[in-house]
Amino acid sequence: MDGSPSDSDPEDGADRPLLRRRSDSDSDSDAIDKAPACCSSRYGLALLSCYGFFVAYALRVNLSVAMVDMLNTNASGNVSPSLCPAHDEGPPRPHHRHSASLYDWDSETQGWILGSFFYGYILTQIPGGYLARRYGAKWLLGLGILGTVVFTLLTPLAADLGPGYLIAVRVLEGIGEGVTFPAMHAMWASWAPPLERSRLVTISYTGAQLGTVVALPLSGQICFYLDWTYVFYVFGAVGLVWFLLWTLLVSNSPASHRRISAQEKRYITSSLKSQLSPSSDHIPWESICRSLPLWAIVVAHFSYNWTFYTLLTLLPTYMRNILGFSIQQNGLLSALPYLGCWVVALLGGQAADHLRETCLFSTASVRKAFTVTGMIGPAVFLLATGYTGCNYVLAVVFLTVSSSLGGLTASGFNINHLDIAPSYAGILLGITNSFATIPGMVGPVVARALTRYNTLQEWQSVFLISAAINVFGATFYSMFGKGEVQPWAVEMEHVHNR
């Protein structure tokens, strides 16, 4: 069915016939002037949602840095010698007296605290997509991040009460953040013209990398010059400012936006009218579950996140225990891979839409090319990292290149939900992100179990497993991924409403 000409997308399928047909069938978006990007409501939404994901990821990763300062370093088991010689930090920094509490948490307790976020995060993925489609994404996403902000502000109090309370707070933070990506995908289904999806969505979601880039080193500086409690107060205040702007400036759709121009509203709605289902009541759950293109995204998303979450949680450990970097050096160097990922993702979004709109490549070929490059490339450099020994310059370069190339997947499988079923994009992302959250809970545990003695051979095994999973995910997606709107995403809806 997927390969038959009758089921082909106006944008995809057999390249040449469909490229000619795109000129005709996509005349909805070409019949009127394309609305300018400058000062437009759709790009305003992209920037403000970028700010929102900046907040979400800053709140997610700041505990990883603050944890170093929360621990009583005199307690046994909290400090490990590095395998490689320690690096000179330059002149010693002045010692600051801090009044914040310190805790004697063992490594197992630390692991539960750091991993508890994902146990809440996985619970609200699919409900988030459903609720966003049924009731609108603006308030769902806004209140989700606001809830995370509130519990972040309560983190110092919870830590003083005991690790159980802190774990509960982190679970609740995860529940709040779990709705963010599905809700935003549902919103983009109504806001992103098909030939601008890569640009808009990558601008929006790269706020996650930017939040990581800023939060890692800045949290370290806040811990040093103030104390660890201010990490949560500062980023919490930044989140409150975002919620105020989001409440005042964002609408669920162009039709309900108060400041959008008539030209932009007409441009967006015309370009999407043949791709969206007319009702929000019926959801073809059976067709969704049987969709092979969706499962291709699931496998790719799971595979990519295995490497992403392993590095996100264990890269500081590798920097300290193997390469011998101090916590001050660690924050900056750990941020480099995510800085590269942010830059490449933004450039990739521009390139992907250029290839589709100007060079007339099919959507499927662009999504697959960016996914394969963004998963196999990182696998190669990640595997090479394990064989650099104590050559810390080469190790940092390889890790940075690996994560940077991963930014290309933002214009690959990560946006593909909007191609195959824009009306149900939030639900589809909720499904794929549920599976993709499992590596956040399992991957670091497996990696820690394999690196019990912190030898290079153990870390080589960790990198090999991650690389192999990445290659498998890229191969599966290249075989079964699609770029066209699936028949069940529009036709079954029309049949249901007759």
- Give the count of beta carbons closer than 10 Å to the beta carbon of residue 237: 12
* Per-residue confidence (pLDDT) for residue 317, from 0 to 100: 72
Which pTM value belongs to this model?
A: 0.80
pLDDT tens digit string along 254-264? 988 988 999 99
Helix (H, G, I), strand (E, B) or coil at 103: strand
Q: CA nearest 301: which of 80, 46, 477? A: 477
Q: Judging by beta carbons within 10 Å of its beta carbon (0-12, 13-18, 19+), is residue 96 exposed, middle or buried?
A: exposed
**Local confidence band at 275 (pLDDT 50, 70, 90 cut-offs):** low
Provide the token pair at 72: 């009583």
Q: How confident is the model over 207-214, as a mean pLDDT?
A: 90
Q: CA nearest 284: which of 9, 10, 494? A: 494
pLDDT tens digit string along 19-78? 333 433 343 444 456 878 788 899 999 999 999 999 999 998 888 878 878 888 665 444
pLDDT at residue 437 is higher than 60: yes
* Per-residue confidence (pLDDT) for residue 113, from 0 to 100: 87
* Per-residue confidence (pLDDT) for residue 28, from 0 to 100: 41
> What mean pLDDT value characterizes the chain?
84
Helix (H, G, I), strand (E, B) or coil at 192: coil
Residue 497 near residue 282, CB atoms below 8 Å: yes
Q: CA nearest 58: which of 231, 224, 203, 228? A: 231
Per-position DSSP letters for 228-279, written without gaps between them? THHHHHHHHHHHHHHHHHHHHH--SSGGG-SS--HHHHHHHHHHHTTTS-S-
Sign of torsion over alpha carbons 388, 392, 395, 397? negative
* Domains of the chain, first to last: 18-27+37-83+104-497 (1.20.1250.20)
How many helices and strands, by DSSP H and E, does the chain display?
Answer: 22, 0
| Torsion-angle region of 136 (φ positive above 0: left; ψ -120 to 50: alpha; else: beta) | left
